[in-house]
Each structure stands twice: as structure tokens, then as C-alpha cells.
Structure 1
């Protein structure tokens, strides 16, 4: 292991915890009505016709047909993104790929998958789905309607993932039950919530998942969106009532499909105890891949990322 020893942060991004301690992180207490809350949201999302519209993209790639995509999510919110179709072979699997809190400006053409239709949605308020007055700044986006449990934007972002799955099923009906999800950081956190309640998703990869163990997330010094929530909480003292219903670790406890979870020992943006809370909550079929650091460049990162990429390719291989 080569956990970074030097860094510019005023706090320790390992939080003084070793691997054994991280693997022992337990779930937070969950609120009454958690399942009813999410099941109702899922049924509402299932009732939406995504009405996908495809057009030829400015991007091109030798291995992929690239199409621009717009579909409808809950609240008639228009979601922009891309659809990749393999130039060789048929479409035997589907994959929805979430993004980090920096958004996304193009598809990832280096995904190690074949015979797979891949959707890259931009969640509401971000990148191709920007929608003023919702801020694209992660520290502000994460606060949008945080004082209203039922309207909090993170719930809408989870619905955007469900509607990406609906879009794949609309375009390729035979893919239902053969659709995976892969997401990092922000996309990892909302992915845990989406997978937990969507039976159409048959496996998932979460990397550096955010939104895990919200009580810890409010306490552990961090940069980025978590810092934004902490500052808001310091002023208003009222966010935990909402955040307990948007806890990726609480949701992950419900996941019962094969999972590959990548978590870091050092991370200034998504505290490792919060990441491990998500990974530890998945009781079945979960392989945990340990990274030395997340959201930070470190010696050996290229080798670790290459090893993880190989794992991802095996995990989503068409069988």
C-alpha cells in the first residue's frame, strides 16, 4: 500500500483509521418508513414514459456508434446524455454509467464492455441537464431543497438513473433484467439507492460511493459537497432529518445482486468510513476492491486503476 503521507489538507483524510477498523464500520440507525419512502418514489418513476429522443452526436469513435440522448424523468425533467452502441456484435446487455459531482462532458469510450448498450446520463441540474436556478457547483447542488425531504434533489437524481434504465428497456425490451449500473463518487452514492429498489438492475459497480452513513458524513472534515452540507448544517442544524432518508449505506443493506465496490483508505472528499459503510452494508455477492486513495493523485494510482478496470470488464462481461 502507498497511502499518501503528504497532502495539502488541514485534516487527515484517513481519519486515523486502518483497514480492519474501516471494515468494522457499521450501519447508521435507519429512519422508520425508509422502504415505504423509496418504494413510492420508484413506483412513481416506473410510471413515467421516458420518451427517448436520439440524434447523431458530434463525438465519434471506432468502436462505438455515438448518439446524443434526451429523455424525460420525474417531474417532466429533461435529462441529457449519450447512448453508445457497439459497432461489432449485437446488444445483449445494458449498462447505465453515473458520473461524479463534476458532471460529465462526454462519454467514457474506454469502458471494458462488449455487446452492451451504454447510457451516460447527466443527472438533473448538471452538465447536459443543467437547469437554472439549480447550481452546477457541487457544494450548492447538494443543498438544493435539502430542507424538504420529499423534494431534495438527490431523490430526483436517483429517479434519473431509474429513468435511464427505463430508456434502455424502451429501446431494447429484451434487456430488462440484464442491465448493470456503474457509478463513482456522487454516482456511486445515488447508484446504491437506485440499485436497492430497481429489480431491472442485475449487478452494480460502485466506486468511492458518496452519501454513506450521513451522521458520520456530517462530522468528518471533508472538501467538496460534503463540506457544503457541513457548513449548511452548522448554520441551520436541521439537515439530518432529510439526510437519513438519503443514506447510501442504509440503501445498500437492501441490495441483493452481485456487486463490485471500490473504496479508498484515504479520501478528502468522501470520507473512507462513509465509503466503507456502504461496502460493508452489502451482505450478498459483494467484492470489495481497496484503493490506496480516492479523489487524490498518488504513486501507483495508474496501476491500481488498471487493475480495477480489468475487474470491471470481467464483472460486466456478457455471458
Structure 2
């Protein structure tokens, strides 16, 4: 069933999100602190039975200098520097198995799939990156950890790790630092959107049903997780509503969209009860760079799934030229 606005209303919709006055200063100081730590890039070959793709266990220093892991997959037979695609995964998942996610390497890219710290313990895509930073009381899940202060909020660390992942892949000897694209679905789409707003000179981006956009609206209109974690937290802390949304203002995809310039493709399922389509359209309308959006009328959170990727692959091929 239709979960949100219909398509004509989505084209007219504009979010009432208001960014914090010190949004840029907050992220500038956060990234400067992270860059005070040596990147510490490590690439370890992984033995697999694959004939056409090589896999490396990649590690680098993220927020606080903490180690972050990912799989770097590359075409086995390659000549010259490769364009790179950096991918971020969905909520509670992880980088998974070395044999997973072969699409982008098979299409000719160096493909880095990055762990989200602290996630991936109970889902098919297992993670290998802990989060050594604690927080105060939170609702079950990840979304409310440290949520009453932007400096302690978990996604400050996650987004910083993601920026450092792009910096890491740009230093790999067989990649072309001028040809880097971003992809992600759901939480991964929200992380990719944050990186697009924080990292210059990216070549392309794909945000599929992006999470963490127009967050206050999403928390009010959807009855599905993970946004219900915010509602659950505030149901017990009724006097903390404004403090929570003040924090979330620093992490809303609409704030990053207004700073992002890479050519971008968005998608949304009009029956998405997890990330309401109006929240994706809110980010799309705010996006600064060249952009397109595909609304999948009878799809939910998969937002077109492989058919959506079939639209994006030729677009990336044109821009990144694998």
C-alpha cells in the first residue's frame, strides 16, 4: 500500500529541515581530528576460488584512529589504474563474506565494501569492526547511541569512518583517485550521501532508498524500525525531544545533500514503510549537484532492487570509464 505522499505530491514536497548554524564547523573539526591519525592502510590478500576477481582484506584508521575493515575486490586481470566504487551497507549488516557482492568488481571497478563499526553481529552480512566508544542509555539497536550530543552520537564516528574509507581507497596503488564513486542502499545510502557532502571531487553517487534523511519527519510517520528506535527512546525521555533532534540535525542527509556536487542517482519505493519516499525526495530536492531520481510505484524498501542497479551501472560506466 502507499505509505506516504503520492508521486505528484512528492515532486512538490520540500523538507522543513533546518541545519545547525555550526554544521560546517562541526564536520570540519571532526574530520581534522580524524586526519591527525595516520591512515595506516593495510591490504592483505585473501585466498578464494574466484578466477576473475581478487579479494583483499583492507584496514585503515577511522574516527579516533580506530581500525576499520572492509573487503576490496578488484578484477584479477587489469591494466592501468582502476576507477573505484566505495559501498556502504544496510542497517545492522556488515561487510559479509569475501565471496559476496561481486557485482562492481565484475563490472571493472575496484570495489571497497566498508564495515559500519559495531554492526553485523546477528545478520547474514557479518562485520569485523568493533566500536570501542561507549555511550549513555540507548534504545535497543544502534540509532540512539549517544543521541543527546552530536559529539558522542554514533553516526559521527560512522560518517567519519566512511570519509576515511574514500581517502584510503584513493591511496591504493592500483586505483585512480580521480575516479571514485559512492553507492549504498538504506543505511548505506544515508552514509554515502553524508560522504558526498563531505568529500570533494567525487565522480558519481547512487543513493538507493537512503536512510537518515528528513529524520524528524521519518520518525513521526513510519511505524517501522529503525526509526521506531527514536520513538522508543523519546517515549521514555519525553523532555529530551529537542535535544535529540538538535543532535540529529548534524547528521541529516538533507544537510549533506545541499553540499554535494557529484552526479547522483536517487531511488525510492512508493510503498517503502522503512524509509518513507518523501524523505528521499526531500534529500533529492536539496541536492546541489546534477541529479536524477527514480520512483518505483509498487516497490517497498528495495526501491527497484536490481532493476534500479541496471539503470545506474551504465551511468557509472559513462562517468568512471572502467
TM-score interval w.r.t. the shorter chain?
0.7 to 0.9
1:193 corresponds to: 194
1:21 maps to 2:9: yes
The number of aligned residues is 300
What displacement does 1:214 show? 2.0
1:168 corresponds to: 169
Q: How far apart, CA to CA, are the structure 1 residues paired with 2:301 and 2:49?
A: 29
Secondary structure at the aligned position of 1:70 is classed as strand
Secondary structure at the aligned position of 2:183 is classed as strand
> Is contact 2:224-2:273 (8 Å) kept?
yes
Structure 1 residues 186, 267: CA separation in 2 closer, same or farther (over 3 Å shift)? same
1:121 maps to 2:114: yes
Q: How does 1:1-319 map to 2 (within 5 A)?
A: 5=1, 14-15=3-4, 17-27=5-15, 28-57=17-46, 59-90=48-79, 91-104=81-94, 105-106=96-97, 107-111=100-104, 114-126=107-119, 127-131=127-131, 139-172=140-173, 175-236=176-237, 237=241, 238-291=243-296, 292-295=298-301, 304-317=304-317, 318-319=320-321
1:9 corresponds to: none
Structure 1 residues 115, 306: CA separation in 2 closer, same or farther (over 3 Å shift)? closer
Higher relative contact order (CA 8 A, sep 6+): 1
Q: How far apart, CA to CA, are the structure 2 residues paired with 1:128 and 1:58?
A: 18
What displacement does 1:125 show? 0.9
TM-score (norm 1): 0.86
Structure 1 residues 249, 216: CA separation in 2 closer, same or farther (over 3 Å shift)? same
> Is contact 1:265-1:293 (8 Å) kept?
yes
What displacement does 1:75 show? 0.8
> Is contact 1:73-1:159 (8 Å) kept?
yes
Secondary structure at the aligned position of 1:311 is classed as helix
Structure 1 residues 257, 85: CA separation in 2 closer, same or farther (over 3 Å shift)? same
Structure 1 residues 149, 61: CA separation in 2 closer, same or farther (over 3 Å shift)? same
Q: How far apart, CA to CA, are the structure 2 residues paired with 1:142 and 1:162?
A: 19
Q: How far apart, CA to CA, are the structure 1 residues paired with 2:47 and 2:175?
A: 28
> Is contact 2:212-2:252 (8 Å) kept?
yes
Secondary structure at the aligned position of 1:62 is classed as coil
Deviates more, 1:123-132 or 1:99-108: 123-132
**Structure 2 spans left out of the alignment, 5+ residues:** 120-126
What displacement does 1:132 show? 6.5
> Is contact 1:46-1:166 (8 Å) kept?
no
Structure 1 residues 83, 153: CA separation in 2 closer, same or farther (over 3 Å shift)? same
Q: How far apart, CA to CA, are the structure 2 residues paired with 1:138 and 1:260?
A: 33
Structure 1 residues 165, 129: CA separation in 2 closer, same or farther (over 3 Å shift)? same
> Is contact 1:139-1:229 (8 Å) kept?
no
Secondary structure at the aligned position of 2:159 is classed as helix
Q: How far apart, CA to CA, are the structure 1 residues paired with 2:55 and 2:273?
A: 35
Structure 1 residues 283, 76: CA separation in 2 closer, same or farther (over 3 Å shift)? closer
Q: How far apart, CA to CA, are the structure 1 residues paired with 2:145 and 2:255?
A: 22
Over the residues paired in the alignment, what is the CA RMSD in angstroms? 2.4
**Structure 1 spans left out of the alignment, 5+ residues:** 6-12
TM-score (norm 2): 0.85
Structure 1 residues 285, 232: CA separation in 2 closer, same or farther (over 3 Å shift)? same
